[in-house]
Amino acid sequence: MIPAKFEYLRPESLDEAIDLLSHAGEEGKVIAGGQSLTPLLRLRLAQPELLVDIGGLYELRGVRDQGDALLIGASTTLYHLAHDPVITENCGLLGQTAGLIADPAVRHRATIGGALAHADPAGDLPAVALALQATLAVRGPEGDREIAAADFFQDYLTTALSPTEILTGIRVPKTQGWGYHYEKFHRTAQAWAIVGVAAMVRRANGHVAETRVGLTNMGPVPVRATAVEAAAAGAEASRDALRAAAAQADEGTQPPEDLHGAPDYRRHLARVLTGRALAAAAGV
């Protein structure tokens, strides 16, 4: 289909972009890589009157080391995340997951900010941001603010961003000493995940000291599998023990029903994939 008519503007600064959105209100949309928004425009599921292109704002790109955390510009591409040695060393789960999304052509265009702001529960990065306990930096007419990933995703395709705010960066605590793995099941290569699991494990003396587990496509927002985390804490770092903890993965979830799978099927996948992801993250 052909998108509905809209005005297209390409600001030269972040402040100019925010000013344009302030005047447009709910009729304005931000675009960077366009891999999430463009399909919605073509299907007329989104019909903004103004499209503000921030793809040329280089201040929103790149990775900055802030000591105990990394600040990742919202317009940093998935390809960059997958290949940046600073990401690999300090936040490997993010880099690994980015390298599994779609295909190289998409990864060269798609941005981390776009993936998170789009808030598709079938997208991989929202669950990763949850597991990493990331903080999202936002700027709007009222100035800057930060939103914890746990508070950012509010409903299906809905975030805590106001229509006049722009996601500028993602602050991710460094995770040296943690094992990690992203496991997902999809029907065909490069397709959306039917279910995905972002797992992190910190071991001590042959046991699990701490885990973090984020689930993809198990509800209208990414889900933190707190029951699994509680069950795994202090357990022996073995496949059997982690598989037993993973049996709690579907607790408190609201998996969707669509052509790709029924809720019970997704609950089963969540338990199985969580066991695999935990074992890989723990190195057992």
Q: How many CA atoms lie within 13 A of 15 on its CB side?
A: 1
Give the span between the Cα atoms of 234 and 279, in whole angstroms: 15
* Whether pTM exceeds 0.85: yes
Instruction: List per-residue pLDDT tens for the chain, 284 residues long.
Output: 688 898 999 999 999 999 999 988 889 889 898 888 888 888 888 888 998 999 999 999 999 999 999 999 999 999 999 999 999 999 999 999 999 999 999 999 999 999 999 999 999 999 999 999 999 999 999 999 999 999 999 999 999 999 999 999 999 999 999 999 999 999 887 788 999 999 999 999 999 999 999 999 999 999 999 999 999 999 999 999 999 999 999 999 999 999 889 999 999 999 999 999 999 999 99
Q: Which CATH architecture group holds 7-53?
A: 2-Layer Sandwich (3.30)
7-53 and 180-282: identical CATH topology: no
- Whether residue 27 contacts residue 36, with contact meaning beta carbons closer than 8 Å, is answered with no
Give the span between the Cα atoms of 84 and 90, in whole angstroms: 10
Q: Which CATH architecture group holds 58-172?
A: 2-Layer Sandwich (3.30)
* Domain boundary assignment for the chain: 7-53, 58-172, 180-282
Q: Which residues contact 189 (CB under 8 A, 6 or more apart)?
A: none
Q: Which residue has the tokens 């709690």?
A: 248
Q: Which fold has domain 180-282?
A: Enolase-like; domain 1 (3.30.390)
Cα 94-217-27 angle, rounded to 5 deg? 85
